[in-house]
Amino acid sequence: MNSIYEIIQSWSILERMLVFFLLAPIAGGVLAGIDRKLSARLQGRYGPPVRQPFFDVLKLFQKERILVNKFQNFPIVLFFLFTVFSGALFFSGASLLLAIFSLALAGTFFILGGFSVSSPYSHLGAERELIQMMSYEPMVILVAVGMYQVTGSFKVAEIAQHQAPLILYLPGVFAGFVYILTIKFRKSPFDLSMSHHAHQELVRGITTEFSGPALAIIEVTHWYENVLLLGMVYLFFAFNPWLAIVASLGAYLFEIFIDMNYARFKWQLTFWSSWLFTAVAGVSNIIVLCFLK
Amino acid sequence: MGWFEKSPWLLHYNATSCNGCDIEVIACLTPLYDLERFGIINTGNPKHADILAVTGSVNEKSKQILKNLYDQMPNPKVVVAVGLCAISGCVFQDCYNVQGGVDKVLPVDVYVPGCSARPESIIDGVLQACEILEEKYAQQKKAKQSSPKSQTNQQQGFNHE
């Protein structure tokens, strides 16, 4: 595994970004397929094939392009570009903080896309997406702060090669991050703005007015985002790459399990529970670290 | 080649059905029949849908909604009439407010008979609709190649009035 690190280090930043750009949607699509198959098996159904998310996206690209207004797809393209940018920054070993802020900007463009049409369902979805963003954003920044406290660097390349296990220093931050991962993966009980499951949503939430290619781009962006978030889980266990890969996949399976077992929360409960968890697990972990160092 | 056969997304609309056929459509999603194993998702949003499944006869109130839903679906799209009421109006066809079957308002591609239609026949009808979807996509592509400036937005071979 260390030889893989050496190979990656021998590449230039642009090459690393290109590899991420090409491989992340494949990994993200397969993960989405496993998600759908596993969800179906947990519900006692047979489920679609694992390649199904790719079929869906290819089909959506063949559908007719319907625009409500000419600004509608503009924020969605920016949402895609900034998510890919933050993922590429992360996997090329650049600043973790910049990757997180770029991801937040991508989320903002998605919300603007929801507000750019006049459908009340889309507006409701966008408002809920805003609430979700307010719920998870403090915890995502605390992840970067905690990692800086332990390793003394915001650079992903240096955090990944830190010898001491980060998870032992940051158990609270990790627990808080797994909590908000449920929101980021759009899993129940926090799938307020856009659900993967049929008929749980006011029409289709924030994606109501997007059809064909725009919807396909939203789906592919979601794959990129998932790969990036699992990469952040990887960093907590980076002292042992094999353990780290198992832990990232374990976190993903855990989120699917939570998705199947919970009914949706109201937005009030989503908001205060995630802030409470951020305060109790994340902030207290960081205060303790301050006294230890 | 189109990918519509692998991932047809369904929109179900109840135009004055007695709920018999609706229950059977929903039954297709249950673990016993599991429509999702064919990649079919019951979307509930016309802008995401490829197949419009209509149950029940069409009356004066539901006519406009049905047309509206159909117009909002991006091309290519197909309509499946589920149950006898959606095919012809059945026992309700002489009612003063009933127009008749779905084909009085929209171009129906697949008729699924039965009162109420069995889940097996609904799944069969939807899968036949997928093949028609593929054909429509091929035609649309051909038409686009022969005349690139023609509007793909227009309904194919169907006039609303």
Residues of chain A above pLDDT 90, percent = 59
pLDDT of residue A2: 65
Is B44 in contact with A198 (Cβ distance < 8 A)?
yes
What is d(CA B23, CA A141) in angstroms, rounded to the nearest whole number?
A: 48
- pLDDT over threshold 50, residue A274: yes
- B112-143 pLDDT per residue, tens: 998 888 999 999 999 999 999 988 888 888 88
Average pLDDT over residues A247-262: 92
Distance of alpha carbon A271 from alpha carbon A247, whole angstroms: 27
* Preferred mutation among B4, B26, B35, B48 to probe A, highest tally of A CBs within 10 A: B48
Backbone angles phi, psi at A67, to 5 degrees: -115, 135
**What gap in Å lies between CA A282 and CA B70, rounded to an integer?**
50
Partner residue opposite B45 with nearest CB, options A48, A203, A212: A203
State yes or no: pLDDT of B88 exceeds 50: yes
Q: Determine whether B161 is exposed, middle or buried from the number of CB atoms within 10 Å of its CB (0-12, 13-18, 19+).
A: exposed
The pLDDT score that the predictor gives to residue A70 is 83
Cα separation of B124 and B80, whole Å? 11
Nearest to A190 by CA among A110, A277, A74: A277
Q: Is B152 exposed, middle or buried (0-12, 13-18, 19+ CB in 10 A)?
A: middle
Q: What is the pTM of this model?
A: 0.90
- Give me the pLDDT at residue B159, please: 42
- In this predicted complex, what is the ipTM? 0.84
**pLDDT tens figures, A76-94:** 999 999 999 999 999 988 8
Q: Which of A55-59, A71-75, A175-179, B152-156 has the lowest mean pLDDT?
A: B152-156
Using alpha carbons only, give the angle A201, A209, B21 rounded to the nearest 5 degrees. Answer: 50
Q: Please give the DSSP secondary-structure letter assigned to residue A238.
A: T
B50 and chain A in contact, CB less than 8 A: yes
pLDDT tens by residue, A32-57: 999 999 989 998 888 899 999 999 99
Task: Quote the CA–CA distance of A151 and A159 in Å, as a whole number.
Answer: 6
> CB burial class (10 A; 0-12, 13-18, 19+) of residue A163?
exposed
Please report which helix (H) or strand (E) contains residue A257, including its range: helix A241-261
Total tally of structural domains belonging to chain A: 1
Cβ distance of B45 and A40 shorter than 8 Å: no
Q: CA–CA distance from A74 to each of A32, A78, A104 (Å)?
A: 25, 6, 17
CB under 8 Å to A266, separation ≥6 — which residues?
none
> Using CA atoms, how far apart are residues A213 and A38, in angstroms rounded to an integer?
27
Question: Which residue from A minimizes the CA distance to B39?
Answer: A48
Q: Say whether pLDDT at B153 is over 70.
A: no
* Chain segment B14-47, per-residue pLDDT in tens: 888 888 889 998 898 888 888 888 888 888 888 8
Instruction: Tell the burial category of B160 from Cβ atoms under 10 Å away from its Cβ (0-12, 13-18, 19+).
Output: exposed
Write the residue in A43, A204, A212 that is nearest to B45 by C-beta.
A204
Chain B's closest residue to A43, CA to CA, is B31
Mean pLDDT of B155-160: 44
Model confidence at B155: pLDDT above 50 = no
- Residue A191: the pLDDT is 83
Please state, in angstroms and as integers, the Cα–Cα distance from residue B23 to each residue in A170, A221, B35, B65, B113, following that order: 51, 36, 14, 21, 15
Residue B106: left (phi > 0), alpha (psi -120 to 50), or beta? beta
Which pLDDT value is given to residue A264?
85
User: Using one digit for the tens of pLDDT, what is the confidence trace for A221-253?
Assistant: 999 999 999 999 999 998 888 999 999 999 999
Mark yes or no for CB contact A198/B152 under 8 Å.
Answer: no
Instruction: Please tell me the predicted confidence (pLDDT) of residue A69.
Output: 85
Give residue A199's pLDDT. 59
Q: How many Cβ atoms sit within 10 Å of the Cβ of residue A9? A: 11
Query: Span B75-91, mean pLDDT?
Result: 90
Quick check: B161 pLDDT over 50? no
DSSP A140-160: HHHHHHHHHHHHS--BHHHHH
Q: What is the pLDDT of residue A66?
A: 86
Nearest alpha-carbon partner for B66 in B99, B42, B92: B99
Q: Which domains does chain B have, with CATH numbers?
A: 9-146 (3.40.50.12280)
pLDDT at A119: 87
B42 and chain A: CB distance < 8 Å anywhere?
Answer: yes
Positive or negative CA dihedral for A8, A12, A13, A18? negative
| A260 CA: distance to closest CA in chain B (Å) | 15
Evaluate if residue A1 carries a pLDDT over 90: no
Please say if the pLDDT value at position B157 is more than 70: no
User: Is the minimum CB–CB distance between A41 and chain B shorter than 8 Å?
Assistant: no
